[in-house]
Amino acid sequence: MSMNLVKLPTGKTNISLRVSKGHFATGHSHINYYIDVTLTKCRLSEARAAASELVQAYTHTTIVDTILCLDGTEVIGACMASELTKAGYINMNAHQTIYVVTPEHTVGSQLLFRENTAPMIAGKHVLVLAASVTTGYTAESAVEAVNYYGGTPVGVAAIFATRKECAGFPVTSIFDPHDLPGYESHDAHACPWCKAGQKIDALVNSFGYSSL
């Protein structure tokens, strides 16, 4: 079944906010808005625009050696790396290059880096990039992994976030709940829609949705 997505005006060039309102279940919570970030992650023009928005928080103040991409955000990560190393910007990274890496997930959902990618984390200043930060569990796991592998987390960036801080680091986002009137997120065990007998419309995550 195709979900009815509505494109909301954002006032941002080449970046659209596509949402559907209903009762949705994520891995950690129940929400009343599904935010489709597929095109932002996969369409180059939107990925570039998203990267341009996000790097403003880091260009002149933060050393970034590595961008750790979660939720399929590698295209945005590559565009951010390009922006952060662009001629004319004050770049604090002495190497003048940035690694863009994706973690491997174990069966227990822990983040793993193999021997060929671990050196891109160890001793590096690492920016965590996610599609969304709502409960913060995934981003917190990424920060823990960076610390475990000897890296230095420097921040968390996302397309959409409900939190301004995660694991002790500021969260930079393009969109937040102010862009979605009436946005709600509840623990699955305390979901008011479930208690009212409202069926779940779809299981959702940053990769898409599965209608029920």
pLDDT averaged over 10-residue windows placed end to end, the chain, 212 residues: 75 84 91 92 94 90 92 96 78 74 79 92 94 90 94 95 92 92 90 95 87 83
Q: What is the CATH number of the domain that holds 204?
A: 3.40.50.2020
Is residue 190, in this structure, part of any structural domain at all? yes
- Is 200 exposed, middle or buried (CB count within 10 Å of its CB: 0-12, 13-18, 19+)? middle
What confidence tens digit (pLDDT) does each residue in 4-63 have? 888 887 777 788 889 999 999 988 899 999 999 999 999 999 999 999 999 999 888 888
Q: How many domains does the chain have?
A: 1
Spatial neighbors of 119 by CB under 8 A, at least 6 apart, are: none
Residue 123 φ/ψ, nearest 5 degrees: 75, 10
Is residue 110, in this structure, part of any structural domain at all? yes
Is residue 160, in this structure, part of any structural domain at all? yes
Please give the mean pLDDT across all residues of the chain. 89
Percent of the chain with pLDDT over 90: 63
The pLDDT, as a whole number, for residue 40 is 92
Q: Which residue has the tokens 């390009």?
A: 82
Spatial neighbors of 86 by CB under 8 A, at least 6 apart, are: none
The pLDDT, as a whole number, for residue 110 is 80
Is residue 1, in this structure, part of any structural domain at all? no
For 127, the domain range is: 6-211
CA distance 50 to 42: 11
Q: Which residue has the tokens 């960036």?
A: 157
Beta-strand ranges (E) seen in 54-205 are 66-69, 99-101, 104-105, 111-112, 125-133, 152-161, 165-166, 169-175, 185-186, 202-205
- Max alpha carbon distance in the chain (Å)? 57
The pLDDT, as a whole number, for residue 107 is 62
